[in-house]
Amino acid sequence: MTRLARKLGITDYFSLGWGTMVGVGWLVVMDDWLLRGGPLGGILGFAIGGILLLPVGFVYGKWVMAMPDASGEVAYTAKVFARPVSFFTGWMMVLAYFIVCPWEAVAVGRLAGFVFPWLNRIELYRVADKPVYLPHLAIGLGLTALVTTVNYRGIRLSATFQNWTTFGTLALFVIFIVCGAARGSPSNFPPLFTHAPWVSILLVLQVVPYFMNGFESVTKAAEEASPEFRAVGFSRVIFTAIVVGFLFYVVVVAAVGFVAPWRQLTGTPFMTAAAFQYAVGSRWIVSIILSTAILSLFKVFNGNFVAATRLLFAMSRRGLLDDRLAAVHPQNRTPGAAVLALGIATGLFMFLGSAILVPISEVGSVASAIGWFAVCLAFLLTKPTLRDYLIALLGACVGLAMILMKFLPFVPGHFSNWEWLAFGIWIVLGAIVGRPRAANANPPTIRAGVV
């Protein structure tokens, strides 16, 4: 079997895990977060959601040390469940990663239009009464082509791209937060919640899985670790990515509520930038924020692209999808067919325009939570130690609760008809293209004594 290139180290895995998690939601849909919960509701929602994900991260760390398999959730669930279950779990995670790619491709067009208003012209059509502009499409398709090319050429090039954009994002984030916070005031915070406190926190918690999805992308690149990489590093990177991820969201929500009267700015395009411009009174800080967002957009697009393509490749190698997706480029040693397929699919989905941004967050949240729940449940069935069992049980409960929050009709913020439609279409598509009952082409290998 042709193997993928083994060139990734600890820094590369952190950049992949954290970089895949944190995109540009903190700029593009900040008003949605604050309207859901208010500043304190947003802070508590992301903090509680991030902390609750630590047991899930623990389980992923145990699994990836035992099974460094690019199919991730598919390999883990296949150990204890029937193939249709492992296929469905993997198919949901493909959705969780893939759905981010057109999200970011659309977002880059909106960012460009904010910086250069003359790009908001040549309206082609509307989706859900939101215009789709030709320049936005061209920019998004250009970024899609760039990410596809980088990933086709090799994992080392992709990892270098990911490292620069990840640490560049963190550096610029610190700069604009410090500069803006010096001009803020606690009097800007009220109202702390937009609904009753528990409802506000719940409404934010519902989108946390989507915006925290990505820490487990580390497992999809497990086969590409350098020979010197120690397996325990996977677990450490996953924990670090989760902690840094939810702290990032907590800080940015708190900062927006602190620097400006946020209630007056809801509905303003790119509310985070507007809030900091209000505080500083100058456009220069907006330039820093937009530069941060562009770097962040590149890295989260690339990170999710890496995860989705590896998962498609590995599922195909196991006989769960079309065999052609398992092809490895002979020189680049990348999953070339999967890379090209995902690049084309991303470009096609881009034509839905900005109307997909918020619904994608909702559907992506459930897809991620389904994967987390299945992985934790599978771990419980391997009969681990009592301590590990209790941690995994908590992780399974967290995943299940995040699913039920969107499925149960009496819970505030549950799925709308459009979200049920999108979710149903994905399941039907999986039934059409998948091979969940085919013979296992590549049974999982487990390192003894880890799980």
Q: Which tens digit of pLDDT belongs to each residue from 417-426?
A: 888 888 898 9
> Could you tell me where the beta strands, DSSP code E, fall in 17-154?
123-127, 130-133
pLDDT at 154: 86
Instruction: Give start and end residues of each alpha helix (H) in 182-227.
Output: 197-205, 208-212
pLDDT at 2: 54
Q: Mean pLDDT lowest for which of 148-152, 355-359, 387-391?
A: 355-359
How far is it, in rounded angstroms, from Cα 166 to Cα 151?
A: 16
Total residue count of the chain as it appears in this document: 451
89 by Cβ neighbours in 10 Å (0-12 / 13-18 / 19+) ranks as: buried
User: In the chain, pLDDT over 70 holds for what percent of residues?
Assistant: 95
Which one-letter amino acid corresponds to residue 319?
G
Q: Using CA of residue 288, residue 290, residue 292, residue 294, what is the dihedral sign?
A: negative
Q: Which tens digit of pLDDT belongs to each residue from 63-90?
A: 999 999 988 999 999 999 999 999 999 9
Question: 213: which residues sit within 8 A by CB, 6+ positions away?
Answer: 20, 21, 96, 97, 100, 364, 365, 368
Q: Is the pLDDT of residue 146 over 90?
A: yes
The two tokens of residue 42 are 């947003």
| pTM assigned to the model | 0.87
Inter-residue contact 270 to 26 (CB < 8 Å) = no
The pLDDT of 366-383, averaged and rounded, is 93
**Residue 124, φ and ψ in degrees, nearest 5:** -90, -45
The pLDDT of 290-296, averaged and rounded, is 89
Q: How far is CA 322 from CA 81, 224, 270, in A?
A: 22, 22, 41
Please, what is the average pLDDT of the chain? 88
User: For residue 411, how many other CB atoms are within 10 A of its CB?
Assistant: 15
When computed from its CA atoms, the radius of gyration of the chain, rounded to whole angstroms, is 21
Which comes out higher in pLDDT, residue 416 or 397?
A: 397
The two tokens of residue 231 are 């397996």
Give the domain ranges of the chain: 10-433
* pLDDT confidence bin for 357, thresholds 50/70/90: low
How far is it, in rounded angstroms, from Cα 438 to Cα 400?
A: 28
The CATH H-level superfamily of 10-433 is Amino acid/polyamine transporter I (1.20.1740.10)
Task: Taking each helix axis as running N to C, give the angle between helix 134-153 and helix 336-349, from 0 to 180 degrees, rounded to the nearest 10.
Answer: 170
The two tokens of residue 261 are 């009267």
The pLDDT of 49-53, averaged and rounded, is 92
Tell me the sheet residues that pair with 8.
225
Inter-residue contact 307 to 214 (CB < 8 Å) = yes
Which comes out higher in pLDDT, residue 119 or 362?
A: 119
The pLDDT of 235-258, averaged and rounded, is 94
pLDDT at 342: 94
How far is it, in rounded angstroms, from Cα 24 to Cα 107?
A: 8
The pLDDT of 384-391, averaged and rounded, is 95
Q: Is the pLDDT of residue 448 over 70?
A: no
Q: Annotate 96-136 with DSSP letters as a single string.
A: HHHTHHHHHHHHHHHHHHHH-GGGS--EEEEETTEEEEHHH
The two tokens of residue 25 are 């939601």
pLDDT at 1: 47
* pLDDT confidence bin for 365, thresholds 50/70/90: confident
Q: Mean pLDDT lowest for which of 144-158, 270-284, 409-423?
A: 409-423
